Structure 1
Amino acid sequence: MTKLRLGPITDDKPVRLTIELPAAVHRDLVEYGRLLANESGQAEIVPAKLIVHMLARFMATDRAFRRLRNGRSAISQALGPARA
């Protein structure tokens, strides 16, 4: 069986999110939540919970984002708090 990219979703502090999604994207999120729940033995996972983890995973694995963010952090640290 193919493993989904997201692992089990931990129960953490809720996050309120208000966005508009195309219906097809919402259907896919609902289906992804259902499949992930089946794969991990959890209750069905709602789209709002998935979106947070998907975005976090996307940013964590985006090499260009990490490189640029780390580069900016290194420059800020080199300049010190007064010039950052």
Structure 2
Amino acid sequence: MAKLKIATLPDDKPVKVSVELPAVVHRDLIAYAKAVASESGQPISDPGKLIAPMLARFMATDRGFAKLRRSSQARAGEG
């Protein structure tokens, strides 16, 4: 089986955010939740709970974002 980027859901205090997803993205999110549940043995009752770890993973691996963040933090340290 393929190695998924999201393996488990972290246990953290959430902040409520409301978003609208295109139907195709929602269907893919449900399919991804099923794949994670199958791989991890951890049932996922709400596929929406995958959104936060997916976004975190995306931002953590976005080199352009990391570069901007580093330069922003460096400028903040100068002042």
TM-score by length of 1: 0.84
Q: Which moved more, 1:8-17 or 1:37-46?
A: 8-17
Q: Name the structure 1 match of 2:8.
A: 8
Q: What residue is the counterpart of 1:37 in the other structure?
A: 37
Same amino acid, percent of matched pairs: 52
Aligned to 1:47: 47
Maintained 8 Å contact 1:17/1:48: no
| Alignment correspondent of 1:57 | 57
Q: CA deviation at 1:45?
A: 4.8
> Highest Rg: 1 or 2?
1
Q: CA deviation at 1:76?
A: 1.0
Could you give the per-residue CA deviations for residues 28-58 of structure 1, whole angstroms, max 9, x where no partner exists? 0011011101101101252321111111110
**CA distance in 2 between partners of 1:71 and 1:19 (Å):** 30
What's the C-alpha RMSD, in Å, of the aligned pairs?
1.3
Q: Which runs of 5+ in 1 are unaligned?
A: 80-84
Post-superposition offset of 1:17: 2.4
Change in CA separation of 1:45 and 1:10 when aligned onto 2, cut-off 3 Å: farther
Secondary structure at the aligned position of 1:16 is classed as coil
Size of the aligned set, in residue pairs, is 79
